[in-house]
Homo-oligomer: A and B are copies of this chain.
Amino acid sequence: METRPRNLPADERRAVTVESVVALAGTRNPSEITTAAIAKHMNLTQGALFRHFPNKEAIWQAVMEWVSERLLSRIDRAAKGIESPLAAMEAMFMSHIEFVTGHPGVPRMMFGELQRAESTPAKRVVQTLIQRYGERLDRLLERGKTSGELSPSLDNEAAATLFIGTIQGLVMQALLAGDVERMRRDAPRAFAIYRRGIGSTR
């Protein structure tokens, strides 16, 4: 919550807007986040938002771009320098969970965006994010096969789907229980089963 309502440069104001939306999504249904609510959270009038964004859809697009950049750079940083592909995947998994724990509104927004029927700009951003995520997983899975850590007959596409699905499942259970911290506890346990499912028979 901002306090002083001073004038900000346009790009800073846009950044504050995005952060406000992310924060609001943590406590309420994204479809219920109105421009008035965003403005109030920023100590700004509702109309002023449209000085920086042409319409509400553009706000959502900016938010999803923010999420994409932060999430991808975070999992890249987590996997960086780790020799073992399986260990790298585990590091990605955990850092993803950490990211979501720190920003509980993010999965809410992504689920909300993905279930739109129309192809909005924001939805396309999310689609690109998941595609890039999948590419990173595919590379790791391939490396794991050649290194012998993973089962050589592994179905990469299914394994990538399951990786992301596992995270989604954890998030859903957390949303159900209204307890984000639960994810931190359950994540290693869920990944252990996943790891067993894709690993080579020892």
Contact = CB atoms under 8 A, between A and B. Distances in A.
Label chain A's interface by main secondary structure: helix
Interface in A44-90: none
A30 interface: yes
Interface of A: 27-31, 108, 111-112, 114-117, 127, 130, 151, 154-155, 157-159, 161-162, 164-170, 172-173, 175-176, 186, 189-190, 192-198, 201
A154 to B, nearest CB: 8
B173 A117 contact: no
Nearest to A189: B158
Given A158-B189, A169-B162, A192-B155, A130 B176 contact: yes
A166 B164 contact: no
